[in-house]
Amino acid sequence: MTAHPSPDLSRAPRRAPSGGRPAGPRGNRVNAAIAGGLAVLALATCAAAAHRPTLDPAQATAVAAELRALYERIQGSPAQRSAALVIAHVAREEPVRACMKSSGFRYTLAPFADPLADSPRLLLPTEVSAVVDPGAADALKLVPQAVAEEPEAAVARPKDPSYQRLSAAKRRLYDDTALMCEPPIEGQTEVSTPEVSGDLDAEFLDMLRRIGADVEVASRMEFYSSCMAKLGYPVHTVGELYAAVSAKFRDDEGTPLRPESSLMPHATAYQQEAVKADTTCRTPAWAGAMSLAQAELAAFTEDHADQLAALDAAWAALEARAAEARAKLA
């Protein structure tokens, strides 16, 4: 960090103090002392940032793991998020069954398709990943999947086993009734998570923004774009890198590449090298951020101990409700 030079008071127009008396030698000495003090303070601040101890890779990785764990404690682990989803799913299905029953039909609840079944952990938001992770590996590795995904087709509601024993006319009536019993989208039960989760999440992100805005961390991040450019990736942010990698998995018309496309090996290689480049160029800022995060994390956990304990209990209660919901699907 470079200290800004203090203003040259000798060249500044001299303003007479109250009473109209011109500043004398003593006044000049006071002004010089103030200017010197400000310069020393600026240099001391810069020196403190420049000499801030940086964690070694193992220590930084441990702090990052603690931050990820805290994020999942607040937002819920994949299993806890799935619990919230299955509760909402059953809450949407039960009114359909009741509606069908009132019309004289049996109805089997639709099975729950867990979108988080293959997720070992929740992906951090972009602003969090840039601070916590040494690179954008998680997001970049999912680019092919994200590009190739097509809008989900409407899933047909399951037919109860008794459907097969109905006459053709009764089957048509069953189908019409099932359609009529379908709840409107605006009236469907929303996924519910503990209320305190949102409050803590906002403060958690504020903590990470403070870390990212630190002078030393920010100065190290300025190195990112030039470093990436030297490695063949003219980008300034992870978002730009993600867009560049995504573009490689589409043809000139914007259509996602098919697995057998001759361009797929090139796109995959570009993606893999992008992960390596991002890790290389982001690590200096990440290591500095983890040095700050170590103390911030301890303070956050201590300051919010009661809220975190309440949140743990709320997630546990939600998982218990999810067990009851899953039993209804069996």
Q: Are residues 276 and 140 in the same domain?
A: yes
Strand-pairing partners, residue 250, are: 256
The total number of structural domains in the chain stands at 2
In percent, how much of the chain has pLDDT > 70? Answer: 80
Q: Taking 70 as the threshold, does the pLDDT of residue 263 lie above it?
A: yes
Can you tell me the distance from the alpha carbon of 163 to that of 157, in angstroms, rounded to the nearest whole number?
12
What is the CB neighbour count within 10 angstroms for residue 156?
9
Q: What is the mean pLDDT of the chain?
A: 81
Instruction: Please indicate, yes or no, if residue 54 is contained in any of the structural domains.
Output: no
Cα 136–Cα 139–Cα 140 angle in degrees, nearest 5: 75
Instruction: Please indicate, yes or no, if residue 165 is contained in any of the structural domains.
Output: yes
Q: Are residues 272 and 299 in the same domain?
A: yes
Q: Taking 70 as the threshold, does the pLDDT of residue 52 lie above it?
A: no
Instruction: Please indicate, yes or no, if residue 52 is contained in any of the structural domains.
Output: no
Q: Binning pLDDT at 50, 70 and 90, where does residue 219 land?
A: confident
Instruction: Please indicate, yes or no, if residue 94 is contained in any of the structural domains.
Output: yes
Find where tokens 């379908």 sit.
182
Find where tokens 């203003």 sit.
7
Instruction: Please indicate, yes or no, if residue 53 is contained in any of the structural domains.
Output: no
Angstrom CA distances, 251 to 202, 247, 256, 265, stand at: 39, 8, 7, 13
Can you tell me the distance from the alpha carbon of 100 to that of 108, in angstroms, rounded to the nearest whole number?
10
Q: Are residues 16 and 106 in the same domain?
A: no
Long-range contacts of 55-63 (CB under 8 A, 24+ apart): 55/287, 55/290, 55/291, 55/294, 57/287, 59/290, 59/294, 60/134, 60/286, 60/287, 60/290, 60/291, 61/134, 63/290, 63/293, 63/294, 63/297
Tens of pLDDT, residues 53-79:
778 889 999 999 999 999 999 999 999
Q: Are residues 167 and 307 in the same domain?
A: yes
In percent, how much of the chain has pLDDT > 90? Answer: 47
Q: Are residues 74 and 182 in the same domain?
A: yes
Question: What would you measure as the largest C-alpha separation in the chain, in angstroms?
Answer: 110
Q: Are residues 2 and 79 in the same domain?
A: no
Tell me which of 135-144, 164-173, 217-226 is least confident: 135-144
Q: Are residues 37 and 68 in the same domain?
A: no
Instruction: Please indicate, yes or no, if residue 129 is contained in any of the structural domains.
Output: yes
Query: 147 and 158 in contact (C-beta within 8 Å)?
Result: no
Of residues 187 and 9, more confidence is placed in 187
Instruction: Please indicate, yes or no, if residue 153 is contained in any of the structural domains.
Output: yes
Q: Are residues 110 and 256 in the same domain?
A: yes
Instruction: Please indicate, yes or no, if residue 73 is contained in any of the structural domains.
Output: yes
- Res 117: pLDDT: 82
Q: Are residues 30 and 98 in the same domain?
A: no
- Res 118: pLDDT: 77
Strand-pairing partners, residue 256, are: 250
Q: Taking 90 as the threshold, does the pLDDT of residue 158 lie above it?
A: no
Tens of pLDDT, residues 36-51:
443 333 333 344 444 5
The residue range of the domain holding 181 is 59-329
Which two three-digit tokens encode residue 127? Answer: 């602003």
Q: Are residues 42 and 68 in the same domain?
A: no
- Res 55: pLDDT: 87
Q: Are residues 184 and 244 in the same domain?
A: yes
Tens of pLDDT, residues 188-211:
667 778 988 988 999 999 998 889
Q: Are residues 146 and 101 in the same domain?
A: yes
